[in-house]
Every structure is written in structure tokens, then in C-alpha cells.
Amino acid sequence: MTPAQIAEAQAIAAQPGRAAVLRAIRDVSAQSGVPQGAIMGYDRRPRIVAARHLAIRVAHDAGVSMAEIARVMNRDHTTIRHAILKGAA
């Protein structure tokens, strides 16, 4: 690993909520085949939205607040709330 990659990994590890969200995105990406960038992006195709909502629910189930998930995913907290409630239905 380069020094920059080590510094980035340390910065992420120092923020447990951020690390949990990124881990959820990585895991859902690996399971669904949807690229991580697409999960973080704004594409509204159903397959990608389903993966994004799953990643949000996984992060929330791991104890990450809706506000923190929203910050990491660059979304409004009401979008995060919608994804969580939609999954509970």
C-alpha cells in the first residue's frame, strides 16, 4: 500500500459510522454485482436502486444513524429514511 492509501484507510477507520457504510456498500456490491460507484451514484434503474436501498438498510441495521448514512452517501436524510421504511414494509 502506498502512504496515501494507508492514510485514507486510517481516516476511514477513525470514523466507525463511515467505515460501516462503506463496508455495507462493498458487501452489497459484491453480492449483487452492482458496482460500488453505481450504488453511491444517482442512477434510478430498479436493479441499482434495490442494491442502494439494501446497502442503506444493512448500514442502518449495523447501528449507523440515518444522518451518518446520508452524509457518506451524499443524500438527504429523508431519502435514507424512505429506503429504510420501504425495506420494512
User: Nearest Cα to 51, choosing from 79, 29, 82?
Assistant: 29
pLDDT in tens, the chain (89 residues): 788 877 776 666 666 788 899 999 999 999 999 999 999 999 999 999 999 999 999 999 999 999 999 999 999 999 999 999 987 65
Q: Which long-range contacts (CB under 8 A, 24 or more apart) does 22-31 make?
A: 22/72, 23/62, 24/55, 24/56, 24/58, 24/59, 24/62, 25/55, 25/59, 27/55, 27/58, 28/54, 28/55, 28/58, 29/55
| Domain 3-88 of CATH type 1.10.1750.10 | yes
Q: What does the domain layout of the chain look like in residue ranges?
A: 3-88
Distance CA 76, CA 27 (A): 23
